[in-house]
Chain A
Amino acid sequence: MADTPQIVLDERLKKEGIGARLIKRPELGAIAGVVLVTLFFLITADGAMFTLSGIMNFMTPAAQLGILAIGAAMLMIGGEFDLSIGSMVAFAGLIFGACTVTLGLPLLLAIPLTLAVAAGIGAVNGTIVLKTGLPSFIVTLAFLFILRGASLVGLKLASGGSTQLRGVRDAVEGDWLAPFFSGDAFGPIFAWLAQVGVVETFNNGTPKVPGIPVEILWFILLALIATFVLLRTPQGNWIFASGGDRNAASNSGVPVRKVKISLFMFAAICGALVAIITVMDSGSTDARRGFMKEFEAIIAAVIGGCLLTGGYGSAIGAFFGAIIFGMVTIGLTYTNFDQDWFQVFLGGMLLIAVLFNNYIRKRVTGER
């Protein structure tokens, strides 16, 4: 045996160029998509879209969707779906609203309580899926209706007959935790940037962009954490293995049940975080909050390179997938196109993304 182990080279192995290696990255499709959509809007849209305030305009909805999409992507890599995260936004909004308005709890209690309820429901979803062996698609579809219905019933109880619960903004005003979940961050820096002329100002001297909306910071933070977990921790390997082949992972000693239930909980917590941020921003919660967001989140994850079969994908991909979604949603308002084209455009984007990802998957797997 040699003192220093060497990898034996095989003459059949051709050295891959950087291009060939790049194309195997799951997030490539989404990055290419961002470039494509940016080019499209650079040509067709008003220049205002790509000013700082324009970018904030499309990044805000992108971030709200993106937080959900990262949860959905992690779960999809782990081989499961959660169709109830959209309804979870409404339900967690109700819990949060009831905690702050009806019970008058401070954010220090209301936020952990909301996140814990969401995590609990995620755990129930996951446990049912794993105990019964039923597809997560079906189980979470049931929760899509249950949570949506429960939100409606709960809101009527909490508000005394209305489907909307108001007064959240007043209830949380002055709470020291509020700036972490609502409004804009780095206000003083942006005010200074406006003073020195880097950021545009209105006639009265206030900056056109008063700061970075906190959801964008949460979105970036979550994308970074999720990417780190996937690529640098044992748990990341367990997620890929559990999603790729559950039996193989289990035989290898991966705690598949724990991994999958944790992912269901994480997806639900992402839904609750979106609920907290959006409810605090708007000051009220209603039963239609998060409507259809589960599908948009899955679309963003798929655009981001997640395979529907599990075991493959990336959080960074979902990050870019959500940005594409935000650009398309808001971008059309900057163009001369009729708004009615929005869904056609979105569907087209999804189709192109899936075709592109399918092509990449074939390249990666060598069609075995």
Chain B
Amino acid sequence: MSDIVLKTEGLTKHYGGVHALEGANFEIRRGECVAIMGDNGAGKSTFVRQITAVEQRTSGRIWFNGGHVEFADPLEAREAGIETVFQTLALADHLNVPDNLFLGRELVKFRLGPFSILDYKAMRKATIEGLEKTGVKIPNISNTIQNMSGGQRQCVAIARTATFKSKLIIMDEPTAALGVQETAQVENIVRTLKGQGEPVILISHNMRQVMDLCDRIVVFRRGRIVANLRKDETDGQDVVAYITGAKTQAEYEDVAAA
């Protein structure tokens, strides 16, 4: 049990009459890469938004690192060690790479109450180290994000997760808009992180990628979890059957039928 990094119980989110997420029970262990799959609108991103406190859940409980948690905002979740690469990148276009990596938790060299001065030197150094750790190649970290290609932006967003001592990394469709080469680069980063023992939740539509990188696949359908599959006991076709609703795992039949 102590291996479990994140556990959710009955996680539910309603937007007025829309029940976007209903009773999600989920867990991920140290060193594990779990894929979350499902059709558009299945509740994958909603699930992530509740864990990372981008939104406040309607009901349900979350345990992180052995303790029950109630994050008030995304910064609290990040400070606790949950790093997220969002589908919409969460990068500031007019800031450079170090400023983006440290956005919201800047390194400062002087602090007096609310007044503080940025430590650019330390941020640059940590940025270069973070990029090294993930094997990301950014030609000029002083460039603003808007001057970078889609792949470079994505790499910066992912490098951000590695710069801090994260305990769980969540990636929401990190390669959705990338070319072949850039996708390969991002996948390499995921492998590197996994190799370092970091638990990773990967939301993806890309079956090859999921089969290649992940140990387990959790399938969402219409706001509910309908399957929890070990990679070695399933294949692409089987997963698609769960995604489309042709199949439902026995233990989830009650919730799926509800």
Q: How many A-B residue pairs have CB under 8 A?
A: 106
Residue of B nearest to A250 (CB): B74
Q: Across the interface, do B139 and A244 meet the contact criterion of CB distance under 8 Å? A: no
Q: Across the interface, do B139 and A13 meet the contact criterion of CB distance under 8 Å? A: yes
| Chain A residues within an 8 Å CB radius of B73 | 253, 255
Q: Which size bracket describes the interface of A in this complex?
A: 35 or more
A232 at the interface (CB under 8 A from B): yes
Q: Across the interface, do B128 and A248 meet the contact criterion of CB distance under 8 Å? A: no
Q: Which of A52-60, A116-124, A233-241 contacts B (4 or more CB under 8 A)?
A: A233-241
B248 at the interface (CB under 8 A from A): no
Q: Across the interface, do B118 and A237 meet the contact criterion of CB distance under 8 Å? A: yes
Q: Across the interface, do A234 and B118 meet the contact criterion of CB distance under 8 Å? A: yes
Q: Across the interface, do B92 and A252 meet the contact criterion of CB distance under 8 Å? A: yes
| Chain A residues within an 8 Å CB radius of B139 | 7-10, 12-13
Q: Which of B86, B116, B138 contacts A233 (CB 8 A)?
A: B116
Q: How far does the alpha carbon of A240 sit from the alpha carbon of B118 in the complex, in Å?
A: 15
Q: How far does the alpha carbon of A205 sit from the alpha carbon of B13 in the complex, in Å?
A: 80
Q: Which of B92, B106, B137 contacts A8 (CB 8 A)?
A: B137
A74 shortest CB reach to chain B, Å:
15
| Chain A residues within an 8 Å CB radius of B241 | none
Q: How far does the alpha carbon of A9 sit from the alpha carbon of B104 in the complex, in Å?
A: 28
Q: How far does the alpha carbon of A253 sit from the alpha carbon of B78 in the complex, in Å?
A: 8
B165 shortest CB reach to chain A, Å:
15
Q: Across the interface, do A5 and B108 meet the contact criterion of CB distance under 8 Å? A: no
Q: How far does the alpha carbon of A233 sit from the alpha carbon of B146 in the complex, in Å?
A: 21
Q: How far does the alpha carbon of A74 sit from the alpha carbon of B180 in the complex, in Å?
A: 41
Q: How far does the alpha carbon of A249 sit from the alpha carbon of B103 in the complex, in Å?
A: 8
Q: How far does the alpha carbon of A6 sit from the alpha carbon of B131 in the complex, in Å?
A: 10
Q: Which of A234, A248, A255, A368 contacts B90 (CB 8 A)?
A: A248
Asked whether A253 and B75 contact (CB < 8 A) given A234-B116, A366-B147, A368-B146, the answer is yes
Q: Which B residues from 38 to 72 make CB contacts under 8 A with A?
A: 54
| Chain A residues within an 8 Å CB radius of B128 | 5-7
| Chain A residues within an 8 Å CB radius of B99 | 237
B253 at the interface (CB under 8 A from A): no
B33 at the interface (CB under 8 A from A): no
Could you pull out 30 A-B pairs where Cβ atoms are within 8 angstroms?
A: A1-B133, A2-B132, A7-B138, A8-B138, A8-B139, A10-B139, A13-B140, A232-B118, A233-B115, A233-B117, A234-B106, A236-B118, A237-B106, A244-B92, A244-B93, A245-B91, A247-B88, A248-B86, A248-B88, A249-B90, A251-B84, A252-B90, A252-B104, A253-B75, A253-B78, A253-B104, A254-B103, A255-B75, A364-B146, A366-B146
